[in-house]
Amino acid sequence: SQTIHQWPATLVQPVGSPLSLECTVEGTSNPNLYWYRQAAGRGLQLLFYSVGIGQISSEVPQNLSASRPQDRQFILSSKKLLLSDSGFYLCAWSVLTGRPNTEAFFGQGTRLTVV
Amino acid sequence: GDSVTQMEGPVTLSEEAFLTINCTYTATGYPSLFWYVQYPGEGLQLLLKATKADDKGSNKGFEATYRKETTSFHLEKGSVQVSDSAVYFCALSARNNNAGNMLTFGGGTRLMVKP
């Protein structure tokens, strides 16, 4: 069966420090991969998605970047964190089918607090 | 573009009360519709889905019917339990020209069930 791992679960980082969140998927090949952010008391915002190795699309301009160095690995990074980067970050994957009835499967999330 | 609107919370109910969480959407074409649930401190889990008009998704006593004429996908449960306390997200998935299936989420509705 497919599983998705996301770490760390919680992170407290000072303003201006770098960030690296990692997400890996097991049990499937060539998945679509996604990074979402959930700000406190708000809904989910899609940050990045990837349909293949090295292929990253950004949905919103921001202080973050994403990379996909391997088929089932998706990394969210920042060179210098801002206070506004605080939030709950969720990695997700879906099967690459091009069909809209495919659901996404989410990791457990990383709660990032920038202080 | 695609959008999902769901009722703002929190929704506070007593145990065994009837639940309705409204969700309406705007999308081109024929999207698939989903309800996800997020328990405290966790990622999102798929609760149910419907892939075409008049389909009814159901799971764990929750139901939602895909109403194309009213562009709605309201979530209902006949008798809620304390364990149903969570945040519920309505979402749609429409085919992406880049072959990804991105989910568009509503803002989430927090449900609190009191004993």
Q: What is the DSSP string of A23-43?
A: EEEES-SS-EEEEEEE-TTS-
Binned at pLDDT 50, 70 and 90, residue A100 comes out as low
Q: Does B3 touch chain A (CB under 8 A)?
A: no
Token pair 């209902």 is found at B76
Regarding predicted confidence, which is higher, B24 or B103? B24
Interatomic CA distance for residues B40 and B21, integer angstroms = 19
The answer to whether A94 contacts chain B (CB < 8 Å) is yes
In Å, how far is A5's CA from the nearest CA of chain B?
11
B63: helix, coil or strand? strand
Cα A48 to Cα A36: distance, rounded to the nearest angstrom? 7
User: Before A8, cis peptide (omega within 30)?
Assistant: yes
Q: What's the average model confidence in pLDDT over B83-91?
A: 95
Contact across the interface for B101 and A106, Cβ inside 8 Å? no
Is the pLDDT at A39 greater than 90, yes or no? no
Q: Which two tokens stand for residue A11?
A: 């992170």
Q: What is residue B96's predicted lDDT score, i.e. its pLDDT? A: 59
pLDDT for residue A90: 93
A97-106, B58-67, B104-113: which has the highest mean pLDDT?
Answer: B58-67
Overall average pLDDT of the A87-104 stretch: 80
What pLDDT band is residue A96 in, cutting at 50, 70 and 90?
Answer: low
Contact assignment for B100 to A51 by CB distance below 8 Å: yes
The verdict on A56 touching B (C-beta cutoff 8 Å) is: no
